[in-house]
Amino acid sequence: MKQTRTNFSTFAIMNLHFYKYQGAGNDFIMMDNRALLFPKNNQSLINKLCDRRFGIGADGLILLENSINYDFKMTYFNANGKEGTMCGNGGRCIVAFAKELNIIEISTTFEAIDGEHTATLKKGLISLKMMDIDTIEEFDNHTFLNTGSPHHIIFQSDIDTINIKDKGAKIRYGKPYFEEGANVNFVEQISDDAFKMRTYERGVEDETLACGTGATAVAIAANKTNKTTANSIKLKVLGGKLEVSFNVKNKIYTDVFLTGPAVKVFEGNITI
């Protein structure tokens, strides 16, 4: 009878130290991975850590890593365990985390999947510079643009009554996005320079309390479609308030800043 050899690595126990941060209710597991010990190719582990019943619970997991040319590198994973595109609130939270680790003081330049970002910390708020935007697609019923992550934006009234998970999923998986998907934002104007919004996030596959790249996309889309002439726009999200400012020249949106709170909730250890 042939003997089989047990792969004991399958049953390895990991002890992880983590931090939990939230930006306007968008919450993230933060880990200091400068020693490169975290198994970031383990999608099921990341998914389990983000699970709100069997793990720590979060919209995503973010690793702070060393960078050759910048203060640090941000590596972001969606709650489903897959590496994601840029996350604006996650970017603000990792800045607060870098401050906690004494890597930075009141300003920073770091790298993320979509390139270089600068940020400043002032009076409890973190202002994060986002990428320039030169391409905005306008359709009859929605606007589409990529602010580090792709966003489908619908302006309408009574967004409080919408079943975001159901309607958002249909758009996220529908034509032309399909499996790659897009984040879906439902937006209602409440004053000349203020909007409230609700977002279905791909990767989380549900509504989140806030979305930073979504807030950025909504503010730019509102200006582009002449719903406002303001270049500093307030966004009311389920988890609080965000603000997006920008300059416009030759139809290009530059000096785009996402501003809002980023708060440490707790830290701890988990054995998994």
Torsion 258-209-198-24 (CA) sign: negative
3-state secondary structure of 192: coil
Q: In the chain, where does DSSP find H-type helix?
A: 43-50, 88-100, 164-173, 212-224
- Cβ(227)–Cβ(197) under 8 Å? no
Is 211 designated active site? yes
Distance CA 210, CA 39 (A): 28
Is 87 designated active site? yes
Q: Which of 133, 204, 211, 242 is catalytic?
A: 211
- Cβ(205)–Cβ(80) under 8 Å? yes
Distance CA 269, CA 130 (A): 32
Distance CA 123, CA 62 (A): 24
Q: Which of 74, 87, 112, 215 is catalytic?
A: 87
- Cβ(28)–Cβ(62) under 8 Å? yes
Smallest Cα–Cα separation from 46: which of 28, 34, 32? 28
The amino acid present at 12, given as its one-letter code, is: A
Q: Report in angstroms the alpha-carbon separations of 123 from 71, 95, 126.
A: 22, 14, 8
| Catalytic positions | 87, 211
